[in-house]
Amino acid sequence: MTHPSETTQRFLGRREPSQLPDVLERVLDKGIVIAGDIQVNLLDIELLTIKLRLLIASADKAREMGIDWWENDPFLKRGRNGNELEDRLRRLEQAAGIEQGRDEG
């Protein structure tokens, strides 16, 4: 015999609860936009307005939408080749004498 709540869930198209990895995969695959505005007023005088627009998506999905700001961001591409952080890490490892076990390639 089928339990009434099971029948209702099947009728409504519900499945087992989604696991976190499933939810993250869907969000990153499709993308999600969160938008909101915050206003601070004092006696009908606008003191502060913050407009929030948040897009959560995978890098591939963002590229499909025409968003690729990180590829040309000067902050992320500091140094000659954009490898300043790696060069600094390599120098620190050499100074500490721990570079021997690291594969260079």
Q: Where are the domains of the chain?
A: 17-60, 68-99
In angstroms, the CA 51 to CA 31 distance is: 20
Question: Would you place residue 38 in the very low, low, confident or very high pLDDT band (cuts 50, 70, 90)?
Answer: very high
pLDDT at 48 (0 to 100): 93
Q: What is the mean pLDDT of the chain?
A: 77
Task: Indicate whether 41 pLDDT > 90.
Answer: yes
Q: What is the mean pLDDT of residues 26-40?
A: 87
Question: Would you place residue 3 in the very low, low, confident or very high pLDDT band (cuts 50, 70, 90)?
Answer: low
pLDDT at 80 (0 to 100): 54
Question: HSE (CB half, 13 Å, CA atoms) of 18?
Answer: 9
Residue 18 corresponds to which amino acid? S
